[in-house]
Structure 1
Amino acid sequence: MAVCFIAIPNFGRLSQDVPWGRPSWVSLGGTCGAARLLQRRLSNTTVRFHGKWKVNMGAVEHTLFAFMVGLTACGLAGSVMELISGRRLAFVEPYVSPAHVLRSLFATACAGPLMFANEALDAWWQSRISASALISCGCTATVWALALGVVLIDIASRAGILLGLADFSA
């Protein structure tokens, strides 16, 4: 049973008693009346309430979704490449080679964040880079996975529109 606190001026009294024994500023209905009204009026946005603050979570949710799409694509591509070749994922042959530039570009674009993270962890375990450099590599791999997710979502939405499968206009 959720409790929602509503700020009601009570003119110096700590609480107002109501017939069923709870103060008037405590509602046991799960959501406040003001929150219900705001939810009805803003039905197309995601709104969370934290005290008196209103937080719109739309941009955060879209960013996390794009990151998870990129991370999933990266993990799937990296796992398939490791299963096919039988070698650990890194920026070396057979994944990256000057003889097969397009294949190397595709492999690096899709599984690059994992390749980069593997190389950074190897360098850190062999004491070739510091902990701050490892953190920097981790942040770069995270941003790379986010960018990959944005690109994949854009490609999927454009392909869906071109094929007429869905209407993504908002």
Structure 2
Amino acid sequence: MAIEIERKFLVDHEQWRLLTKPGGKHYRQGYILSDDIKTIRVRVTDELGYITIKGKTKGISRLEYEYTIPVNDGIELLNNFAVSELEKIRYCINYEGKVWEVDEFLGDNQGLLVAEIELESETETFKLPPWVTVEVTGDKKYYNSALSVNPFNRWNA
């Protein structure tokens, strides 16, 4: 059984701008299905495609199954079956022995920066990088599936 244990945080724009970081990877991702119980997501980069099935979140954990697929299959699935989409640049940053994935959102989510850390257990401790601010774990409006239908730039509209 594959279990994802993840926490999410907002990122300070000024600190992020000043940070020396590796190159990011562009993601286009869409949702074939997304409800409170399960999510089926397709994601493509320049090199690979992925299909991911996620279960209902309980605490900070949920079932997750992810498989690589040919990039052309991923593009066809997005074009023909996705009911919502988003795009982002993902940066992987090593900090104090942990990998942080920082998503810089594009399009209607431009201006949103979210950092995620995957953990081995719900009680695992870790150090926060100086560019991390407010924790948003469990705040559904920051789920990528939610951002694909209710983008960040429409929240105050």
TM-score, length of structure 2 as denominator length:
0.21
Answer with 1 or 2: which has the greater Rg: 1
Structure with more of its chain in helix, by fraction: 1
TM-score, length of structure 1 as denominator length:
0.20
More relative contact order, 1 or 2 (CA 8 Å, 6+ apart): 2
